[in-house]
Structure 1
Amino acid sequence: MTVAALAVLALAACGAEKGTPGSSSSVVPDVPLSGTDWRVDSVTVDGKRVPAPHGADVSFTGGRVSGSSGCNHFSAPASVKGDTLTVGHSTSTLIGCPKNIQEYERALLRTVRGKLTAQLDDGKLTLRAPDGDHVVLGSRPAAPLTGTRWKVTSLVEGGTASSLPQGTAGKARLTFGKDGTVRGNLGCNRVSGMAKVTKGTITFGHLTTTRMACRGPAMTLERQLLKLLHGPVRYEIQQRVLTLRTPGRSGIDATA
């Protein structure tokens, strides 16, 4: 089973107003979750603490919260207003996992749903349900540009992000080398070439590809990527999310 592709997580810039009639309102800034990636420390349900297995993580990217239990993957729509995270219905892969991971998965999916209070404190993020169940997350360092395999998750045109063509999710990826090279896959054909990295900018040279005959969505994605990965583009990394933008505000989003 496949997990729904990620889109762009919209955060209200002005935050949420709280106050009572007749009193001055205060503005509560939105908790800054967009483009962040966390390791799961533990989940507490009905007062019982369930430790997270190795590799368990949670990301807030593309209008969704998604994560891995170290076995299965899940994804759900999510939005932030002030200190409230609202999580919609989740989808998950259905791999048979060891008993201890199954217990953790049940606890996590039971907790990360509906309206949760999000609290950031000294590098820790706590998501708390109204009944007191909660998840404790720890921050992860930003992924380096070079040496990381970046999976393309969305296309951007004029500042608006869209999902990849149907059936191509997870197929396009890029890796930048410290020697100024770039290589990867465009969804069908392998690609390689040079990419000069300066502060905030990647300048792509001529890219060469293999010559497999691709059809339908795979070829559509390949053509779009070749058009975007040309000349100078601005890049930015937020934890484990890479954005590439051309001067015309087209580009891609990718995750480590």
Structure 2
Amino acid sequence: MGLAAAVALVLVVAGCGSDTPKTTTKPPDIGAAGAPLRGHTYLSDSVTDQGQAHTLVAGTRVSIQFEDSGDVVAQVGCNSIVGPVKLDSGKVAADLAMTQKSCDDDLDNQDKWLYDVLNGDATWKLDGSTLRIASGATEIVLSEAKNVPLTGTTWQIDSIVGGDTGTTTPPKGSLVFTDRKVTVSTGCNTGEGDYQAAGQRLAVSTVAMTRKACPPDLAETEQAILAVLSGDVDYKIEGRVLTLTSAAGTGLRLQAAN
């Protein structure tokens, strides 16, 4: 099961505040027509409603990633909207859930708006590198995102998968890779370690962290992050999304912040 499929185990409930996951074993089937979208990420160029421009919260764009597994991961500023999607006959048949990070009201409303668009009677059309998604009077026009580089990018931790934490959405946390060093912020402590890259694998040495006392929830999150950043770590970049997977199967999903 892919990382997005694991994230999708989180239930959608009104408001934000619960991380309790719900499991499903149904394998994703994107459909033959949707197969060309696998492994690609699209970012919004425009959004219209009733033919008029629909203004998103400043600094945000709609991001829709189609994973190789057949899952979709969508974002528009705060939470992740995830799950299996089928794209036959120009229609979007989605079974999506949304993570539960606490957002300000504007971002919270925007997350719910995108969730409703994708879970509604949406249609899609791919024309070269341009993807159009329409639902009711709303149309989102997106273009394919180029992969951002591993180094020099601030990668914000979007979710942690595996281990004792299940699927969690940390309130803060980021990684920055330079030539052979990685700087880590867990939302409580910060640190730095060495790494070497070979193909799609990183060999990470011990990350030295500050020793500030953390609240229990942040301490658990910190341990989960550092458990991934130990030894050999497989990585994959799709557009503005970085996925790290440890040898033990635990993982981090990160979004490019810059």
Contact kept in structure 2, 1:30 and 1:81, CA below 8 Å:
no
Aligned amino acid, residue 115 of structure 1: D
Distance 1:109 1:230, change over 3 A: closer
The Cα offsets for residues 50-96 of structure 1, whole Å up to 9 and x where unpaired, read as 1656744112368653204xxxx566455411243337698973249
Contact kept in structure 2, 1:4 and 1:75, CA below 8 Å:
no
Whether 1:175 aligns to 2:176 is yes
Aligned amino acid, residue 36 of structure 1: T
The answer for the alignment partner of 2:155 in structure 1 is: 150
SS at match of 1:222: helix
Distance 1:216 1:35, change over 3 A: farther
Whether 1:246 aligns to 2:246 is yes
Whether 1:50 aligns to 2:72 is no
* TM-score normalised according to structure 2 size: 0.69
Contact kept in structure 2, 1:76 and 1:87, CA below 8 Å:
no
The answer for the alignment partner of 1:94 in structure 2 is: 105
C-alpha displacement at 1:141, in angstroms? Answer: 1.7
The answer for the alignment partner of 1:210 in structure 2 is: 210
The answer for the alignment partner of 1:219 in structure 2 is: 219
Whether 1:60 aligns to 2:64 is yes
Separation (CA, whole Å) in 2 of partners of 1:60 and 1:174? 22
- Identity, % of aligned pairs? 25
**Structure with the largest fraction of strand:** 1
Residues 90-129 of structure 1: pairs in structure 2 closer than 5 A: 93-95=104-106, 111=117, 113-129=119-135
Distance 1:77 1:234, change over 3 A: closer
The answer for the alignment partner of 2:191 in structure 1 is: 191
Number of aligned pairs?
Answer: 225
**Structure with the largest fraction of helix:** 2
Contact kept in structure 1, 2:29 and 2:85, CA below 8 Å:
no
Higher mean alpha-carbon deviation, 107-116 vs 186-195, is at 107-116
Separation (CA, whole Å) in 1 of partners of 2:35 and 2:254? 24
SS at match of 1:218: helix
The Cα offsets for residues 112-140 of structure 1, whole Å up to 9 and x where unpaired, read as 551211222121110022x4542111222
Aligned amino acid, residue 175 of structure 1: V
What runs of 5+ residues in structure 1 fail to find an aligned partner? 17-26, 97-101
C-alpha displacement at 1:196, in angstroms? Answer: 1.3
The answer for the alignment partner of 1:20 in structure 2 is: none
C-alpha displacement at 1:219, in angstroms? Answer: 0.8
SS at match of 1:224: helix
Aligned amino acid, residue 74 of structure 2: V
Separation (CA, whole Å) in 2 of partners of 1:143 and 1:15? 25
SS at match of 2:121: strand
Distance 1:56 1:4, change over 3 A: farther
Contact kept in structure 2, 1:59 and 1:67, CA below 8 Å:
yes
Distance 1:184 1:56, change over 3 A: same
C-alpha displacement at 1:205, in angstroms? Answer: 1.3
Aligned amino acid, residue 170 of structure 1: P
* TM-score normalised according to structure 1 size: 0.70
Separation (CA, whole Å) in 1 of partners of 2:190 and 2:111? 36
